Structure 1
Amino acid sequence: MAVRLRNNVCKLRKFVLPNFRTFLSAAYRCEDAWSNRLKCPLVAGINSSDYIYDLDRKFKNEGKISAIDVDLLVNKLEPTEAKNINQDLEEVVQRLRRSPETIHTLPSTSHAVLRMLLDSRRTKLMLKLLSNPLEFGVFPDHYMSNLLMDTFIEEKNYTAAARVASVLMLQEDFGPPLTQALAMASCYLYATSTENLPWEDYTVKIEEPEEELKIRIPYLRNPYFDDHFDLKEPNHIVGKTLAWGAPLIGGEIGTNCEILGWALYNKWSDLEAALQRCTANSSPVAASVITSVKELVTSSDDSENQEKIMSLVTRLESSGTCIKEVNLKSVIEDHVKNVAAKAEADDIKVQEGLYATWEKMRQEEVEKQLEEYRRKQLLEEIERKKNELKTKEELFTFFENQDRLEMLLDRKPVVREKDRTHFFPHKIKKPKKVDEDYIPPEVIRR
């Protein structure tokens, strides 16, 4: 597929993006460095619609799909083309994930897919891919996670921002301080907002057969809930993300986010331990967080833990110093801005270097594929010549080997009694006894 890209030339179209400026500056998007990939002859020579068709035909003929072919396609796709290739893009990514070639997936592939979907505002497809990493193999890097969360927070789509943050929790990798801060901001804004979009379930549904299908199985497995990847309740997912990410930030933000997280997650023993630490250390807790904890505990059915936690809350309130009237939202936003101001320059430098590295890596992979194609063609040519030589040899030596060849033609396969019994057991009869004194009758001609 990549072989024919060298001689193709096409015009580049520039997609103008709106100038967003929230926690991250416009320079953080590295637009110029990202657009440079389109100047590479390997990417510039691709016609997206034809390329998708060729990939589909190649998959049906050979039963596999190449990682470098998919990477070239997703890096060529522009936001203006996203509306027409939603289903095709999903299918291509899924085929790569299900093939052995998935181990060769380039790091630029997931980045290009997510960036194209972000720029074209295809949020639903993006969340579907992120929610099913085993099915589609799309994993955001820390830089891409920052872009996604920052954009969704600016759009006040806190549901999408929290879902991106939950991917970090599920992978147990909250990344550098900037990614940690944005994840806490995303989840806190979701937990405290009253106008969140629905948290849709993007789990791939298995189509059940129309007719009833009965399968005999040796035993039934007991149902198992891993309390991590099996989480489906939005509050539990967001709560666990807050609770796990808060200790990485620490301070006032870490204390409040951890308490709120355990309450959302309904982990009452962990919540009790966090409140006890605040009581022992006289750590201030935001009054808004205490109010949320009261509401969540009151709505639970666990009466035993409810009494313990409410008594701890009462003790905090009676202390007079542990409850603090503070706008936690503003504190979190200021923290994210401060961290972003320190990290932006280094992140931009690193990301621009990565884009250049990915371009070299793409070139090397294409060269490897070209070499593999040449090797395959050479082996096929050698095999073809060997067959031709064998045919010529048989022709030239025909008269020398004529007797042997004729014997081979006249020879009939000998069926042994054991083989005959094996293949035709119903036709085998016992041999008749021969009467040695038998005299045939005399035949008289009339």
Structure 2
Amino acid sequence: MAGRALRPFLRHTAHKLQTQPKFNYYRTFLSASYRCEEAWNKRLQLPLIAAIKPSEYFYELDLKYKQEGKVSAIDVDLFVNKIEKSEAVGFEDEIEDLIHRLRRSPETVRTLPSTPHAVLRVLSEGGCTPTLLKLISDPLNYGIFPDHYISNLLMDTFLEQKNYTAAARVASIHMLQEDFGSSLTQALTLASCYSYVTSEENQPWEDYTPQVEQPEEEVKIRVKFLRNPYFDDHFDLKDPNHIVGKTLAWLSPLIGGSVGISCEILGWALYNKWKELDTALDSANKGTDSVAASVLTRVKNFLETCDDLEIKERITSGILRLEASGDKVAELDLGSCINEMVQKAATEAESSDIKAQEDTYLSWEKIRENEFQVQLDEYKKRQLLAEIERKKKDLAEREEVIFFFDNKEKLEMLLPDTRRKYYPKKLSLRYPKKKPRKVDEGYIPPEVIQR
């Protein structure tokens, strides 16, 4: 038990030594008040959460899981909300383990809305970026879907740390869920993807999908039929450029203007969707918004990978038409334009988002209390039913003793039959059945004389 209690502290110390010089902060789009620190930390003062000791609580949950084979949604929510940012590294593995167990159990349908938010916020504030990216990249096994508010916080934090890979991965979740949220979420998503595309010092885009281990020896399995390989071109995307490109291509029409059309063209080129790129170039030629010259330069580089000569010529012709017109191509600094867009959206949405999130935290407290009361009632009900069954069994045994002589004949019929049964002898192949003796009918027994 002592080793279990010390393990989180040791992991936190090692993580702090390894990651202390890692981050390079430069600025943030969201203000400090946007994080709602005071309202968020009020959860630690609630009676349900304040009484929890994380190490002991996890030990009890782990023991309960091994005995009953299930984990409760409210228990997981209480545990992850109890973890503070200073303890995140120490309980990083425990959080992942409990979330995975909850997701793979029937209780996952009762997951509280505060659970994913608490997991992502604690891991982000504690600097556990690899685990955070692993959880959001594998929703099938973890069931972590960030809401728009926590998504804004994550993208802003990663942009502040110049971790553009992590910011782009969070931004791509909106594309996969086909929900880009409010104007602030859209602007931060655009900034994250564009920063990833233009940065030359991105971290590796790791694949967190569980890999099936291939057996060393060849194993043949008989199957009725083989399924044809299927690629849905959405959730099955693995190439980072394709994922970020599709996010840009789908988001940019919502942005509009020169920034929107420029990022849409860049997105289709990254995504290697040449027909859609040709359509976007035609729209740019017919429209009034100008396209950034830097985008066209990047598109020309991506176009070298196109194998269709006909579509390649059409795209090249579209680019030449844009460049030939004097007002369709402009020397725009897209990075600065996007930053101004994010700052404007943050200023407009900050007060309403803060008020909405504070109200959300209050509603989560009521939901948590109601769910805890429901589980407590179910626990009391199970205890009561178990007590009733025990009393019924005890009464049945006492009734059997009291009415023993009245039911003696019935009880004797229930006893096993101990009489010896006759089983015919089995014939042996080695020793055949003996022939019956011949009876001498003329045999006269000797006379017995009594002395």
TM-score, normalised to structure 1, is: 0.88
1:394 alignment counterpart: 400
**1:110–1:138 contact (8 Å) kept in structure 2:** yes
> How far did residue 296 of structure 1 move?
0.8
1:115 alignment counterpart: 121
> How far did residue 412 of structure 1 move?
7.2
> How far did residue 409 of structure 1 move?
2.4
- Within 5 A, what are the aligned runs for 1:414-433? none
1:300 alignment counterpart: 306
| Distance of 2:398 and 2:445 partners within structure 1 | 61
**2:25–2:161 contact (8 Å) kept in structure 1:** no
> How far did residue 55 of structure 1 move?
1.0
**2:322–2:328 contact (8 Å) kept in structure 1:** yes
How high is the sequence identity, in percent, across the aligned residues?
58
2:177 alignment counterpart: 171
1:137 maps onto 2:143 in alignment: yes
**1:20–1:26 contact (8 Å) kept in structure 2:** no
1:31 maps onto 2:33 in alignment: no
> How far did residue 211 of structure 1 move?
4.9
**1:239–1:263 contact (8 Å) kept in structure 2:** yes
1:81 alignment counterpart: 87
Does the residue aligned with 1:228 lie in a helix, a strand or coil? coil
The one of 343, 353, 359 aligned to 2:349: 343
Residue type of the partner of 2:100?
Answer: Q
The one of 212, 223, 228 aligned to 2:229: 223
Alpha-carbon RMSD: 2.8
Change (3 A) 1:209 1:372: farther
1:180 maps onto 2:211 in alignment: no
- Within 5 A, what are the aligned runs for 1:96-111? 96-111=102-117
> How far did residue 304 of structure 1 move?
2.3
| Distance of 2:418 and 2:279 partners within structure 1 | 88
> How far did residue 442 of structure 1 move?
8.8
> How far did residue 232 of structure 1 move?
0.6
| Distance of 1:297 and 1:409 partners within structure 2 | 89
- Within 5 A, what are the aligned runs for 1:328-339? 328-339=334-345
2:317 alignment counterpart: 311
1:262 alignment counterpart: 268
**2:264–2:280 contact (8 Å) kept in structure 1:** yes
Change (3 A) 1:412 1:189: same
Aligned residues: 415
**1:59–1:65 contact (8 Å) kept in structure 2:** yes
**1:185–1:332 contact (8 Å) kept in structure 2:** yes
Deviations, residues 87-136 of structure 1 (Å, cap 9, x unaligned): 22211110100000000000100000000010011111100111101111
1:192 alignment counterpart: 198
Q: Look at both structures and tell me which one has the larger radius of gyration over its CA atoms.
A: 2
> How far did residue 324 of structure 1 move?
0.7
Residue type of the partner of 2:116?
Answer: S
Change (3 A) 1:28 1:403: same
Gaps (5+ residues) in structure 2?
1-23, 422-426
> How far did residue 407 of structure 1 move?
3.5
Deviations, residues 68-88 of structure 1 (Å, cap 9, x unaligned): 000000000112222222222
1:147 maps onto 2:153 in alignment: yes
| Distance of 2:337 and 2:440 partners within structure 1 | 123
| Distance of 2:254 and 2:447 partners within structure 1 | 119
Change (3 A) 1:19 1:221: closer
Change (3 A) 1:387 1:324: same
